[in-house]
Structures are given as structure tokens and as C-alpha cells.
Amino acid sequence: MEPGIGIDIIEIPRMEAALARRPALARRCFTHGEQAYCAARARSAPHFAARFAAKEAVAKALGRSLSWQEVEVVRDAAGRPGIRLHGRAQGLAGSRPVLVSLSHCQEYAVACAMVLPRSSHEERS
């Protein structure tokens, strides 16, 4: 499979309203780890929105629609965001790394994801 790139943007007030209207949305769309991370922030909506955008961006980079729980935004020891794939999403990516960048301001959250090609070492194995 070829490398892929995806990007998504979401209005933070829209995510905030959706979470207030349907509290179960957080449980349906986000892993326990993502929920805990966002809930620990003074204003959780921008963080939920960025993660929602990341899930969409990864799906676009892989070229398939995915279950919300199959794409998880995690943070490394330095605080940089990363992607952990589960289920069918992991199968689609195989051993290819998935990179992500998140950003948000007052009104919008955006995410860009890139699925890298396998390294030349892996292709020879």
C-alpha cells in the first residue's frame, strides 16, 4: 500500500455543543485514555476536537472509514502526540508508521496524519 496523508479540521464550539448534548459521544468516539487526558484539561473541548480531527485524518490517510475506537491519540514521554491503531486500522497500516500533528486555537482544531511507507529494510524481509 502506498503512503498516505490526511487532514481534518473541526469547529471547537460544535464539538463542545455535541458533547454537552450527548455525553455518551465521548465514550463512543474516544478511548478511556483519550477521555482521561481531555477531562484533565481546564477546557476539554479543544482537546476532544483535535483528537476527533486526528481520527478523521488517519482514516483519510489510510483511505478507509474506521471505527472511532480503532484510532487512538497517545502522547510520548516528551508530550508529542502519536497514533496507536487497533483492530482493522492496525491491519490496514500493517507495520507502517503513522505520524500525526495536532493544533487548535479558540475556534478550530486541526490534525494532519501521514502513513509512511515501509522502510526499505522491511520490504526486503
Per residue in 7-44, pLDDT (tens digit) is: 999 999 999 999 999 989 999 999 999 999 999 999 99
Residue-level pLDDT at 3: 83
- In 3D space, the residue among 73, 13, 22, 82 whose CA is nearest the CA of residue 45 turns out to be 13
- Does 47 qualify as catalytic in the annotation? no
How many helices and strands (H and E) does the chain possess? Answer: 6, 5
Please tell me the predicted confidence (pLDDT) of residue 14: 97
122 has a pLDDT exceeding 70:
no
pLDDT in the model for residue 121: 42
| pLDDT on residue 120 | 44
Q: 32, 47, 55, 60: which one is catalytic?
A: 60
Q: What is the pLDDT of residue 1?
A: 60
| pLDDT tens figures, 57-86 | 999 999 988 999 999 999 999 999 999 999
Helices assigned H by DSSP within 12-114: 12-21, 24-29, 32-39, 45-62, 87-93
Determine which one of 32, 55, 104, 121 is catalytic: 104
pLDDT surpasses 70 at 50: yes
Whether residue 83 contacts residue 113, with contact meaning beta carbons closer than 8 Å, is answered with yes
Return the SS3 of 44: coil
Domains in the chain, CATH or no CATH each: 4-124 (3.90.470.20)
Q: Examine the residue annotation and report whether 55 is marked as an active-site residue of this protein.
A: no
